[in-house]
Structure 1
């Protein structure tokens, strides 16, 4: 029951923008600085149809829900990764969309 509660809490109040940002994090990121394949807030903004501000707000909400982790990488670059809970939530959202 604990896992269900976590998922329900995580998806409460999620919008399409949140779901699309989360989905984007499951795709292969573009090259960053010529070698690394990582997602940064700036790269997410460029790949999405969202404004820079909306991208940051979506990421903040996803991090707060435990669906995305955001860490500082080498040189202070912020690296964004989907968490295992984020993958679970995406699966639930896909199942719900298939049933609708």
Structure 2
């Protein structure tokens, strides 16, 4: 049986994980990445073999436009990183 890559179950630990630098929530835009919701640091962390690498020195800063695009794709405000309220209807 070939070795299968380890899957990271973000949903199971989403409420427990935070950015080790900014202490803000993280989003999981793809299988190999976690991104801090902090607009000041905009840090991205790797997920290697199903294990998030959340060491303070391991994060790499995203460009502001790339970070904003990740926040939009994850249903968050692209300026603040805060969750967009689903009950806000366009007026």
Same fold (TM over 0.5): no
Q: Which of 1 and 2 has higher RCO (CA within 8 Å, sep 6+)?
A: 1
Higher helix share: 1
Higher strand share: 2
Q: What is the TM-score with the length of structure 1 in the denominator?
A: 0.27
